[in-house]
Amino acid sequence: MSIDDKMTIDERRKYLNTMKKRYDQGSRVACSALLDEMEAMTGLHRKSLLRLMSAPGLERQPRRRQRGRTYGPGVDDALRVIDDSLDHICAERLQPNLVRMAHHLAEHGELTVSPAVLAQLERIGVATIRRHLQRLAQDQPRLPRRGPEQANRLAREIPMQCIAWDEPQPGHFEVDLVHHSGPTTAGDYVHTLQMIDVATGWSERWAILGRGYVVLEDAFRGIMARVPFPIVEIHPDNGSEFLNAHLVRFWHEVVKNVRLSRSRPYHKNDNRFVEQKNATLVRAYLGQNRLDSVVQTQALNRLYDDMWLYYNFFQPVMRLTEKTQQTNTEGITHCKRRYDEAQTPFDRVVATHILADDRCQALEALRRQTNPRRLRQAIHDQLQRLFTLPGAAPGHTEDVYQTLRMSHILPKGDEAPVTLSFDRTAASR
- Kindly list the domain boundaries of the chain, sorted by start residue: 3-54, 73-137, 155-318+346-428
Q: How far is CA 389 from CA 41, 206, 292, 297, 403, in A?
A: 70, 18, 10, 10, 15
pLDDT-wise least confident of 134-148, 187-201, 292-306, 396-410:
134-148
Q: How many whole angstroms separate alpha carbon 263 and alpha carbon 270?
A: 6
Four-residue CA torsion sign, 297, 298, 301, 302: negative
Report the SS3 class of residue 95: helix
Query: Nearest-CA neighbor of 193 among 147, 162, 224?
Result: 224
Q: What is the pLDDT of residues 24-56, one digit of tens each?
A: 888 888 899 999 999 888 888 999 888 888 887
**Range 232-253 average pLDDT:** 84
**Range 384-395 average pLDDT:** 92
Q: What's the full length of the chain, in residues?
A: 429
pTM for the full predicted model: 0.63
Give residue 366's pLDDT.
94
**Strand runs (DSSP E) across 168-270, as ranges?**
172-180, 190-197, 203-209, 233-235, 259-260
On average, the pLDDT of the chain sits at 85
Determine what percent of the chain is predicted with pLDDT higher than 90: 41
Identity (one letter) of the amino acid at 227? V
Q: Is the pLDDT of residue 94 over 60?
A: yes
Q: What is the pLDDT of residues 51-83, one digit of tens each?
A: 888 887 777 667 676 666 788 888 888 988 888
Q: Is the pLDDT of residue 194 over 50?
A: yes
Give residue 195's pLDDT.
96
Q: Which residue has the higher pLDDT, 2 or 307?
A: 307
pLDDT-wise least confident of 263-272, 342-351, 397-406:
263-272
Superfamily name with CATH number, domain 155-318+346-428 = Ribonuclease H-like superfamily/Ribonuclease H (3.30.420.10)
Identity (one letter) of the amino acid at 228? P
Q: Is the pLDDT of residue 169 over 90?
A: yes
Q: How many whole angstroms separate alpha carbon 363 and alpha carbon 361?
A: 5
Contacts of 360 (CB under 8 A, 6+ apart): 350
**Range 136-141 average pLDDT:** 67
Q: Is the pLDDT of residue 154 over 70?
A: yes
